[in-house]
Amino acid sequence: MSNFITTPIYYVNDVPHIGHAYTTIACDILTRYSKLKGNENFFLTGTDEHGQKVEKAALFNKKDPQNFVDEMSQNFRDLIPYLGCEIDEFIRTTEKRHKLAAQSLWNKLKDNDQIYLSNYEGWYSIRDEAFYLESELIKTDTGFIAPSGAPVDWVKEESYFFKLSKWEDKLIEYYETNPESILPHSRYNEVLSFIKGGLKDLSISRTTFKWGIKVPEADNHVMYVWIDALCNYITALNYPNTESDSFKKFWPGIHVVGKDILRFHAVYWPAFLMAADIEPPKKIFAHGWWTNEGQKISKSVGNIINPYDIIDKYGLDQIRFFLFREIPFGNDGDFSKDSIATRVNADLSNNYGNLIQRISSFILKNSDSKVSKPKNFKDTDLNLFKSFDETLYNYLKHMESFKIDRALKNIFDYLSEVNSYVDTQAPWSLKNTDYERMVEVLYAVTLMTIKCSILLYPVIPSSIIKVLNIYNLSINDLNLTNFKNFLPDTIILNKTKPIFPRIEL
Ligand code: ME8
């Protein structure tokens, strides 16, 4: 199987923050999981560089827009390895190939009679890059604001429109026959009821500024930034060449987005695609929104969380783990220093790290640095193995439905069981009385620790490489399909150092 996994392409009006990092790490986890399963993957991210919001930021910084976006895009690109993410491609909407793809999509829509010229008169929010009906806005003492809190302006201009209203029934039919195509399910319901509420034709070009992709044969119009931006997903697969290997192999894709931009992905994008004779996305997952110590993260509040700072402070895998264990993927989450420390100390340092440390140092000291598979296991050992099989089953089930926190919880519940097994079997007390049994216990614990480590790989990859190194194993040798057979009968251990030091509050 092949999977095309995408992040939104981020606006370059500002530097990346924890919210952007969160989505990118989510896609990295899903891609690594998919790799573990033996699938072929394409992980795409990039930057959204046109539109009024970016143009305004360039002007504010007294820079030429192209120079400005070149500089700002680089910040997003540089962050990726710092997040421990391994992408396949980084796309920018100012690239030539993207302009060609977006114009081809436009022409296709035009040829398919999906576009007409008219006038737009209504509300527009530059911050959200979105058109709003007055009925959607919030009334304040001084006028109206968008539901997101962003300011809105009244605009009146000539505009091309996409016949979105024509796609209402097709979208409803598509979603009703594909109820898993939008996750979590609550978001699916939200989208479906939005569509059922009626769709209006969508303004897809602007004439009052220039920073965008030109509309073919209408030089005074630039494309609405969202039609330009959404098209990035297929540009990366060689659109308009829908016969190319990568398009055929990887489309339709899986889009991971924040809940703020679900409507663009789940309503406009599938409609554009169907109208251009392209299949809609395979899946759209909308995750929640992070706040900082209970407050909305915003530049004006001055509480932006810089991903470099928190990774330097707490550690990369500690942050990756916290973000995806603490909050069900899909829900909103609050970023608090106390909860990072509590979570990391309880799960990574105590439950998992201590287990590795105490068993491996015991083996190094008392079992000639190795453990070999015994001829027989006792019932208690077999019960421990059986319980792992259940853990694996649940892990796979949860990962398939993007419930990353549940998948992790399963592993850590199981690691608690392994710790109890160690306590009751007390290998240290067997050293002088029953050496053979001691090695059996040590082998059983080591085997289960390694298996759990493999399942943790998508979330904390660099730590797992270190853990596997203790056992002379490499992640490259395995995937979940050869899981049962890949472990050697004798596991030889290397010297260890604690991998997850406790975070002091
Ligand atoms: O919307 N919590 O770009 P953008 C969680 N260019 N996620 C957050 C977040 C937070 N506090 N803040 C941002 C755009 N995000 C468009 C997308 S795609 C064709 C075009 C994440 O720079 C989340 O994924 O505003 C959200 O959807 C995205 O950043 C918005 O990034």
pLDDT, position 299: 72
How many DSSP H helices and E strands does the chain contain?
Answer: 20, 20
pLDDT of residue 267: 98
> What crossing angle do the helices spanning 168-177 and 185-196 adopt, rounded to 10°?
150
Mutate which of 20, 47, 262, 305 to test ligand 1's pocket (most atoms within 8 Å of Cβ)? 20
Ligand 1 pocket, residue 76 CB under 6 Å: no
* Pocket flag, ligand 1, residue 289 (CB < 6 Å): yes
By residue count, the chain amounts to 505
Cα–Cα separations (whole angstroms), residue 90 to 12, 24, 136, 208, 456: 14, 12, 35, 30, 26
Per-residue pLDDT of the chain (505 residues; tens, 9 = 90+): 999 999 999 999 999 999 999 999 999 999 999 999 999 999 999 999 999 999 999 999 999 999 999 999 999 999 999 999 999 999 999 999 999 999 999 999 999 999 999 999 999 999 999 999 999 999 999 999 999 899 999 999 999 999 999 999 999 999 999 999 999 999 999 999 999 999 999 999 999 999 999 999 999 999 999 999 999 999 999 999 999 999 999 999 999 999 999 999 999 999 999 999 999 999 999 999 999 888 888 776 778 899 999 999 999 999 999 999 999 999 999 988 889 999 999 999 999 999 999 999 999 999 999 999 999 899 999 999 999 999 999 999 999 999 999 999 999 999 999 999 999 999 999 999 999 999 999 999 999 999 999 999 999 999 999 999 999 998 877 778 766 667 888 999 999 889 999 998 7
Structure tokens at 467: 């853990």
Q: Which atom of ligand 1 is nearest to the CA of 232?
A: 19
Whole-Å CA distances, 297 to 168, 226, 433: 35, 23, 60
Neighbour tally for 34: CB within 10 Å = 20
pLDDT of residue 484: 67
Ligand 1 pocket, residue 268 CB under 6 Å: no
Ligand 1 pocket, residue 55 CB under 6 Å: no
Strands 130-132 and 115-125: antiparallel
Q: Compute the distance between CA of residue 71 and CA of residue 18 in angstroms, rounded to an integer.
A: 19
Q: Are 359 and 422 in contact (CB under 8 A)?
A: yes
pLDDT (0 to 100) of residue 433: 95
Q: Is the CB of 226 under 6 A from ligand 1?
A: no
Q: Which of 7, 9, 10, 45 to mutate to test the pocket of ligand 1 (most atoms within 8 A of CB)?
A: 10
Contact 257, 226 (CB under 8 A): no
Tell me which of 23, 265, 306 to substitute to probe ligand 1's pocket, judged by most ligand atoms within 8 Å of the beta carbon.
23
Name the residue at shortest CA distance from atom 31 of ligand 1.
10
Verify whether ligand 1 is closer than 6 Å to residue 20 (CB atom). yes
Using the atom order of ligand 1, give the atom closest to the CA of residue 265.
Answer: 19
Q: How far apart are CA 163 and CA 268, in angstroms?
A: 10
Is ligand 1 within 6 A of the CB of residue 260? yes
E strand map for 65-209: 89-92, 115-125, 130-132, 138-140, 143-145, 153-162, 182-183, 202-203, 205-206
| Ligand 1, pocket-test mutation among 7, 11, 232, 327, most atoms within 8 A of CB | 11
Would you report the helix, strand and coil content of the chain in percent, each value rounded to 5? Answer: 50, 20, 30
- DSSP E strand boundaries for 85-162: 89-92, 115-125, 130-132, 138-140, 143-145, 153-162
Alpha carbons 71 and 49: distance in angstroms, whole number? 11
Residue 258 CB–ligand 1 contact under 6 Å: yes
The one-letter code for the residue type at 68 is: F
- Report how far ligand 1's centroid is from the alpha carbon of 265 (Å): 12
Q: If you ran DSSP here, which 8-state letter would residue 151 be given?
A: B
